[in-house]
Structure 1
Amino acid sequence: MKRKRILLVANTASMIYEFNLRNIAILQSLGAEVHVATNFVNPGPIDNKIDLKLKKILEKKGVMYHQVDFMKGIGNHKLNVKAMKQLCQLCDKFNFDGIHAQSPLGGIIARRVAHRKKVHILYTAHGFQFFKGGPFLDWLIFFPVEWFYGLWTDALVTINTDDYAVAKHLPIKRVYYIPGVGTDIENVERIAKEQRQKLRQEVRRNLGINDDEYLLLSVGELSERKNHATVIKAISKLNDPKIKYVIAGIGDEETNLKSLIKENRLENKVQLLGYQTDLDGLYFAADLNVFISKREGLGLGGLDGVAHGLYIIGNGNTGMKDYIQSDDIGLLVKDPTDVDEVSRTIAFAKQGKKKVTGKGLEAMREFDYRNVNRIMKSIYQKEFM
């Protein structure tokens, strides 16, 4: 029986590293020859060391990887055509049996190529550009685009329940739902209480956080979408000497965030930590995860924090509400750009000093990567094997 040849496509190498290594393993377990096409030159919100690490991981797994010059965001016509030609050349050379595309631009270009080359295509939407409670203009622009490309989509995977409901109105043959990309709840639970406390103390000491101080954490790209600026403004408004804030991530907004920190004289209260590979200690060191992205499919940085027992503030207009199901887990804001609402919510959370335990963690079981892998394996079997 001929071995299936499957191409994974994403705008940036970061999306392969953060969201698709398990998908590669699943496809290989099904006997597929896996290829990856993404932008390694501009890899997204990971540093060069991680970009190099990804290449080594792919080589070790026997995955062929290919540079495609995808742009960030929606790109521009000239470079999008270039990326499309590069993908077409790959299809001509390797005669793929299927393509699994991700990211908005990667998804659009890959679907155009799949339609032209008559290749079976699966698309994962990591949060539609339009969403319930989102700007009307986004619906006006992006829903028709997604509807049109739905005509060229064999199957769609959604990672939150709102997108799953909307997707049923698109002209796509099969629509699936998976509970995010998966987090490792079981292994976190195995970390002993003593080890958690040790990590907490070590990280807080390294960050200069006193035992009586309340540490806020955000994990994610330094971008306007991730909305770290509103958190900084809320901290300034609260003017609470016991509140400290750290952000783990890199991105284009770094200069603006540094300026905002300086303008509000928060140099001793807010730290930008850069890209962090080991987050266990940070999650245990923090007292509150503030994850108020303007748009988010599910929010892995929020979900991972909850798995570590970290209470969260999230955006109620995103997929985060799939796992922030009660105030035992976290609090949802209605407008993530409203500094007054965010500052009030932070103050309320600080007063309660909650941790996610018991029933809260039990509700997270469906988001464990083992469950997500099981569902994805079933989807791959139906679509590609």
Structure 2
Amino acid sequence: MNKLLMVTTIPDTLKAFLLPFTYHFRAKGWQVDAMACGISASAECLQAFDHVWDVEWSRNPLAPFNLVVAPRIIQEVIQQGKYDIVHVHTPVAAFVTRYALKNWQKQKKLRVIYTAHGFHFYRGGKPLKNALFFTLEKLAGSWTDYLVVINREDEEAAKRQGLLSAEYIRYMPGIGVDLQYYSPNATSEAEVKRLRQELGLASGTPLFLSVAEFIPRKHPQDVLRAFARLARPEACLAFAGDGPLINQMQKLASQLGVQNQVRFLGLRQDIPALIRAAVATVLASEQEGLPRCVMESMCLETPVIGTNIRGTRDLLAECGLLVKVGDVEALAEAMAWMLDNPQQARIMGKQGRKQIANYELSHILKQHEALYSEAMLASSTRTPIQQEKSIIS
């Protein structure tokens, strides 16, 4: 039996993004286990995986606990599980796990795969932060057998900076989106009508929607300020999400005089209906890997306004409106365009549905099958990849 261990910092990442991979490979006869901080308290993960393993992480990847205690736990789990592939996600878990296994591959038939959901160094990032995270990724690259990147900027950076040899760097368009679940026909007009009634919206009230955490890199203040600058009393703005900035944003809405037009919805389970109810979704982030909310909007034929950054740019280059990060005026102008050009906006939304076909979940699952097969074959027939690299160099 082939054995796969998925590693993330927290179980929420597994639940939000990776369970389709779990079910897919278990259905093919694989043993699929998972490791994360606090995972044994997640009923959903206990049901989804064959085995789960708890490990604590510090948010600082170089903290003593991460470099001394956690590696011993990881090594014990690997020794007990006898895995063929360890697939790591999220920066802290990925760095610490690769550090723990940096010498393991030389003695064991083990392959370590890292999916970077957006490097923490990126164009426009703060120089000191970029330098720190680039150094960590460069160091950890020597402990990695395959690197998976999900946007073109990261692919170019990984190859140009030599994080791994180019033949071990793989571009995949995200982690997949279920086109059947996120289908315009999956949400009825009655559901949308009930939702709009819940939000206190009249039938003709245009709704802008922002699906994002209230954290600094998402720039929720830009969305609020742009909406206020828009000055369309007939329109409404809704935020779906939670986070440390939410109280501050509620106060800002009052200061801007738009509090009666803005809805703070918190975490929601009806995102498809919310997106279908909107004239457009808005994402003002300064940093993304490949934003899921943009992909969901495209699937549901709702046009998107986004910032011209990696990931978002990959998705919206031909079927959305892109503005400069922090350009509130341009964001307001894009909102006005959506309201003033409804027919063109609908065409844009339908084009988004066509564009997103390349990101469909079944395609990504097949790419993972191919990558795992290649890794397994290399494990059984060749010198470990890390040794090959040292020989080549």
Name which one, 1 or 2, has greater alpha-carbon Rg.
2
1:1-385 equivalences in 2 (<5 Å): 3-40=1-38, 55-72=42-59, 74=60, 77-81=63-67, 82-118=69-105, 119-169=110-160, 170-173=162-165, 174-189=168-183, 191=185, 196-326=188-318, 329-335=319-325, 337-353=326-342, 354-355=345-346, 356-384=348-376
Deviations 1:81-116 (A, max 9, x none): 443343233224333332100111111111101214
Percent of matched pairs sharing the same residue = 24
- Paired with 2:224 and 2:128, the residues of 1 have a C-alpha distance of 27
Give the match's secondary structure for 2:218: coil
Is contact 1:7-1:99 (8 Å) kept? yes
Deviation per CA, 1:293-339: give whole Å up to 9, x if none: 1100110011101110111011212211222132xx2101122x222
The one-letter code of the counterpart of 1:56 is: A
State the Cα deviation string for residues 256-310 of structure 1 (Å, max 9, x = none).
Answer: 2233233333321222212112212101111110012110011001110111011
Q: How many Å separate the matches in 1 of 2:244 and 2:77?
A: 31
5+ long unaligned stretches in structure 1: 42-50
Is the deviation greater in 121-130 or in 231-240?
Answer: 231-240
Tell me which amino acid in the other structure corresponds to 2:235: I
Deviation at 1:181, TM superposition (A): 1.4
CA contact (8 A) 2:303 2:352 kept: no
Distance 2:84 2:173 in 1: 26
CA contact (8 A) 2:11 2:36 kept: yes
* CA shift digits 1:131-172 (9 cap, x unpaired): 234444443332222112111110011111121122213242
Distance 1:310 1:79 in 2: 45
Report the more deviating stretch, 239-248 or 126-135: 126-135
In the TM superposition, structure 1's runs of 4+ consecutive aligned residues that sit over 6 Å from their partners are none
**Relative contact order higher in (CA < 8 Å, ≥ 6 apart):** 1
Residue 183 to residue 217, structure 1, CA distance change in 2 (3 Å): same
Displacement of 1:10: 0.8
TM-score, reference length from structure 1? 0.87
Higher helix share: 2
The alpha carbon displacement at 1:25 in A equals: 2.2
1:32-63 Cα offsets, whole Å, 9 max, x none, are 2111111237xxxxxxxxx96xx333333452
Distance 2:256 2:66 in 1: 40
Q: Is the 8 A contact 2:184 2:299 kept in 1?
A: no
Confirm or deny: 8 A CA contact 2:184 2:301 kept in the other structure.
no
CA RMSD of aligned residues (A): 2.3
Whether contact under 8 Å (1:11, 1:71) holds in the other structure is: no
Q: Give 1:187 deviation, angstroms.
A: 4.4
Q: 1:358 to 1:234 in 2, by over 3 A?
A: closer
Distance 1:200 1:228, change over 3 A: same
Shift of 1:344: 2.1
Partner in structure 1 of residue 383 of structure 2? none
Q: Is the 8 A contact 2:9 2:36 kept in 1?
A: yes
Q: Give the distance between the partners of 1:283 and 1:238, measured in 2 at CA.
A: 20
